[in-house]
Amino acid sequence: MNKYDILVIGGGPAGITIAKTIQGKQSVAIIRPEDHSMIYCAMPYAIEGLLPIGKTLKKDAIVTDAKATLIRDTVTHINFQEKTVSTEKNEKISYNKLVIATGATPVLPPVPGINLAGIKSFKTEDDLRGILNLVDGGLKKAVVVGAGAIGIELAQAFNEKKIETHLVDMANSILPNMVDYGIVEDTQEALIKSGINLHLKSKVTSLKGHESVEEVLLENGRIIHFDSLDQCSETGAKITNGLVVFAVGMKPVVDLFKDTDLDIQKDGIVVNDKMETNIKDVFAAGDCCQFTSGISGKVISGKLATNAVPMARVLANNFLGQKQTYPGFFNGTATRIGDFYIGGTGFSEKTAEKLYDIETGYAEFTTIFPIMPGAKKIRLKLIADKKTHKILGGQFVSGEPVADKVDKITMAIQYGITLEELVNFSYSAQPYQSFYPANNLIVKAAGEILKKL
C-alpha cells in the first residue's frame, strides 16, 4: 500500500495548488478520475470557436513537474481511523494528511422533465465535447438557464455560432449576484441587441418531450419550442434540434462523506480559517467547502477558482510550517458582454442593504484622457457602510477590461479602508492609461458617498 505525506482527493485548481506550493518538500499524491483537468473559465470560448478544446485542457505536467504523483482513479471510501482511502480500481492508499478538494457540480433543478435528452450542465470535458458536437452538428436553438457569468458567456457563444439563443433567469436583471441593475442596464440592452432572446423574471417550471426535450415552459406562461428533426429515435419518438443548458449554480461534491462524522452543512464541508475540518489530519479546500464572507463573517457562497486557489495555498503553506489563515470570500468576479467589460466585488447594493445601513456613490469618466483616440466610458458604483465608512462593494462597467479595477476595490474592502482614506488615495495618470490627473474614478465615487453622509 502506497503512503503519502499529503493525499489530495481532486485534481482541480485547489488540488493542483497544493502540489505546486509543496513542490516535493513533502510527498504529495493527487487522485482524480478525469483524463484532463480543465481550464473551466475558457470553456465558453471553445464553444464559440475561439479556442480548440485542447487549449482548455491542463497538462498533467502541471502536477508532475511539481514532483507530485498523479493517480487517475476515483475515491470510493475513506477510513478516517485507519487513515486510508479506497478507490474504484481497488487500490488502498494511506496518508498522513488528507486534503479533500472534490469541488462542486452544477445544480440541475428538480423540475419535471429534467432527465430528458438534450438537457445538459456545463462543467466537465464531456459536457464541453457533448455541446460542441451538437453545435458542430448544426444545432438550431439553445436555451441557457441562468444569466450569471457562465450562462451569459455560453449564451453569447451560441449566438456567435448563429444558433437561436434564449437566456432565461428568474431575476429582474442579468448578473444578479455580481452587479445591480443601474450598472448592468446598458449591457443588458447590448445583449438583447446582439440577438439573444432574454427572458427575465422567468423561472423554468417544466421541460416537456417524449425522449428529447421539445418545450421549455416558463412561470410567466411563455413556452420555448424546439423543432423536430426529420428522423425519429429507435422507439419512434421525436428528436428535436435543441439544447437546454442549466447554469444556475453549483453544489459541493460531498456524497462520499455522507455516512461519516465529517461536518458537512448546506454549502459544503465546514472548515476553519486554517482549512481544518472537524476530523484530525483531514483538511478541505475549494468549492467543496462551506466558508464565510470576509466582510460580514456570515456563511456565503463563493464557488470560484479565485477562492479555491488561495484556500489551498494557505493550507499548503501551513503544511510547510507557516501559520497562515484564510480571510474569507470577497467574490470579485468579471465577465465580458459584447463590447462591455463588467465586474463586481463584495456585496451588491441589494445584498448589502439587508445587512448594513448603506450609502452608494457613482463616478463616470473615460478609460484614458477623453481627448485621446480610443477613450471609452467607465462607470463605477461604490457601496459603503454608513456606520463605519468602510467599503462593502464595488461594481464597474467599461469598454476596457475591469478585473484589475475590481481587485483594487477588493483590496480596499479586505483591508478595511474607509471612504476618508479612499478620497485621499494616491493615484497615477497618463494620457494613454488613465483619466486626467484632475480626477480618479475611485476618489470621485468615494467623495460622492461622503457628500451624502
Ligand X SMILES: Cc1cc2nc3c(=O)[nH]c(=O)nc-3n(C[C@H](O)[C@H](O)[C@H](O)COP(=O)(O)OP(=O)(O)OC[C@H]3O[C@@H](n4cnc5c(N)ncnc54)[C@H](O)[C@@H]3O)c2cc1C
Contacting ligand X within 69-98 (CB under 6 A): 74-75
Using rule CB under 6 A, residue 256 touches ligand X: yes
Distances from the Cα of 124 to the Cα of 3, 57, 185, 311, 336, angstroms: 29, 10, 32, 22, 22
Q: How far apart are CA 188 and CA 171, in angstroms?
A: 13
**Which three-class secondary structure state does DSSP give residue 403?**
helix
Using rule CB under 6 A, residue 150 touches ligand X: yes
Strands 223-225 and 213-218: antiparallel
Q: Which of 120, 123, 390, 444 binds ligand X (CB under 6 A)?
A: 123
**Which three-class secondary structure state does DSSP give residue 447?**
helix
Q: Which of 47, 104, 204, 271 binds ligand X (CB under 6 A)?
A: 104
Using rule CB under 6 A, residue 303 touches ligand X: yes
| 74 vs 292 by CB, closer to ligand X | 74
Using rule CB under 6 A, residue 380 touches ligand X: no
Using rule CB under 6 A, residue 268 touches ligand X: no
Size of the site for ligand X (CB under 6 A): 32
Q: Which of 12, 151, 361, 394 binds ligand X (CB under 6 A)?
A: 12
What's the one-letter identity of residue 157? Answer: A
Q: Other CB atoms closer than 10 Å to residue 26's CB: what's the count?
A: 16
Using rule CB under 6 A, residue 10 touches ligand X: yes
DSSP per-residue letters across 53-71:
GGGGBPPTHHHHTTT-EEE
Q: What burial class does residue 416 get, using C-beta atoms within 10 Å of its C-beta: 0-12 exposed, 13-18 middle, 19+ buried?
A: exposed
Q: Other CB atoms closer than 10 Å to residue 15's CB: what's the count?
A: 29
Q: Other CB atoms closer than 10 Å to residue 82's CB: what's the count?
A: 9
Q: Which of 146, 176, 242, 286 binds ligand X (CB under 6 A)?
A: 286
Q: How far apart are CA 181 and CA 340, in angstroms?
A: 15
Q: Which of 122, 329, 340, 365 binds ligand X (CB under 6 A)?
A: 122
Residue appearing with cell numbers 461604490: 382
Using rule CB under 6 A, residue 120 touches ligand X: no
Least distance from ligand X to the Cβ atom of residue 189, Å: 23
Residue appearing with cell numbers 463616478: 363
Stretch that binds ligand X, among 47-55, 56-64, 303-311, 439-447 (CB under 6 A): 303-311
Q: Which of 11, 268, 343, 393 binds ligand X (CB under 6 A)?
A: 11
Nearby residues of 275 by Cβ (< 8 Å), 6 or more positions away? 283, 284, 285, 289, 311, 312, 314, 315, 318, 326
Least distance from ligand X to the Cβ atom of residue 349, Å: 22
| 165 vs 240 by CB, closer to ligand X | 165
3-state secondary structure string across 107-126: CCCCCCCCCCECEEECCCHH
Using rule CB under 6 A, residue 284 touches ligand X: no
Contacting ligand X within 392-451 (CB under 6 A): none
Q: Which of 23, 26, 34, 443 binds ligand X (CB under 6 A)?
A: 34
Q: Which helix (H) or strand (E) holds 259?
A: none
Q: Which of 69, 194, 306, 418 binds ligand X (CB under 6 A)?
A: 306
Using rule CB under 6 A, residue 384 touches ligand X: no
Contact residues for ligand X, defined by CB under 6 A: 9-15, 31-34, 40-41, 43, 74-75, 101-104, 122-123, 150, 253, 256, 286-287, 303-306, 308
